[in-house]
Amino acid sequence: MDRREAMLRELNLYPTWVRREPVAHETIAQSSRQEVSVEALNTAVVGDNTPVTDSLIPVRQDVAPDVVSRGDESGSGAAASPDLFAGQEDAQALDDRQSETGEDSLREFQRQNAGGALGRVDWPELKQKVHDCELCNLRAGCTQTVFGVGDEQADWMFIGEAPGAEEDALGEPFVGHAGRLLDNMLLAIKLKRRETYIANVIKCRPPEDRHPHVGEIATCLPFLRRQIDLVKPRVIVALGKTAASALLGTDATIASLRGTVHDYQGIPLIVTFHPAYLLRSPLEKAKAWQDLCLAVDTMQGALSGVPSGTN
């Protein structure tokens, strides 16, 4: 089994990616999404293990017609995954925020950034500021800050929630189990990790890998915003509810956010499941694949100068 097949199997996609008859490459290259008929989709069967194609778009069409529709709210997994998707801020969280962030330092930070202080810092200074940050209590409990990794001029930016144990130990985002799945998700759309920029909303590992509190997110978010400003990605993929909520300023469910191209400061933003959730709910990988296909479409639109409509 080669690496690509292994990756497809991991995404639960392999059997739907093969046809009984090999397909001529030119035919696939010429196909547009509109040209692929339902009949063609229906011919995708488990057959002789001949991959349909290396090309993303026809492969995506063979995944399953029923997962291509946008705005699908059914079976999103959001309701079924309370452990991943943080709940709404409640009175207790607000109380925690007061005690955990240190109101004075938070207020000072917000005051400094109200005029766009981070809006001018360059990469080295931003890295230093994150490294030195002690604005909330998370820093005291983690080994090191986890800034971000990858091509600082990448077209693609993937944003997660917060470092876990392995990220905390190595100082790099998404290097644990979830990171390995993320690497495979990237491979599925023919991206290498180093060709993207990967960061988290929160730069310090929360204790016992709990979800970050609202105050911690508010404190840390300016760093991520500045990273995005500096990278200037063409497409952002928000991995999970924390990233989606923080960047879009909404508490909407993943289910309602998936399937739509959102707008973050003029940059198209796609929402998908967090890889850690997909590890626990592997049947949802097909939906994540659908989201990645939307992201690829969006990137193609952005590169061709024909942006897809955003919300």
Binding residues for ligand URA, rule: CB under 6 A, are 160-164, 167, 173-174, 176, 178-179, 200, 276
Element (H, E) at 239: strand 235-239
- By C-alpha distance, which of 185, 266, 122, 70 is closest to 247? 266
Structure tokens at 65: 């017609």
- Angle, CA 179 vertex, CA 152 and CA 281 arms, to 5°: 135
The 8-class DSSP code of residue 304 comes to T
Distance in angstroms (rounded) separating the CA atoms of residues 86 and 216: 13
Q: Which is nearer to ligand URA, 163 or 268 (CB)?
A: 163
Q: Which is nearer to ligand URA, 63 or 185 (CB)?
A: 185
To ligand URA, the closest distance from the beta carbon of 276 in angstroms equals: 6
Shortest gap between Cβ of 180 and ligand URA (angstroms)? Answer: 11
Residue 240 Cβ vs ligand URA, minimum distance, rounded to whole Å: 7
Report how far residue 201's alpha carbon sits from residue 37's, in angstroms, rounded to the nearest whole number.
41
φ, ψ (nearest 5 deg) of residue 304? -90, 0
Least distance between ligand URA and beta carbon 174 (Å): 4
For ligand URA, the closer of residues 58 and 176 by Cβ is 176
Q: How far is the CB of 171 from ligand URA (least distance, A)?
A: 11
CA-based nearest residue to 189, from 232, 148, 155: 155
Strands 50-51 and 18-19: antiparallel
Backbone angles phi, psi at 181, to 5 degrees: -65, -40
Residue nearest to ligand URA (CB): 160
Cβ nearer to ligand URA, comparing 109 with 174: 174
Enter the DSSP assignment of 309.
Answer: P
Q: Which is nearer to ligand URA, 72 or 151 (CB)?
A: 151
State which residue, 4 or 180, has the beta carbon closest to ligand URA.
Answer: 180
Of 216, 222, 229, which Cα lies nearest the Cα of 112?
A: 222
CB of 183 to ligand URA, least distance (A): 12
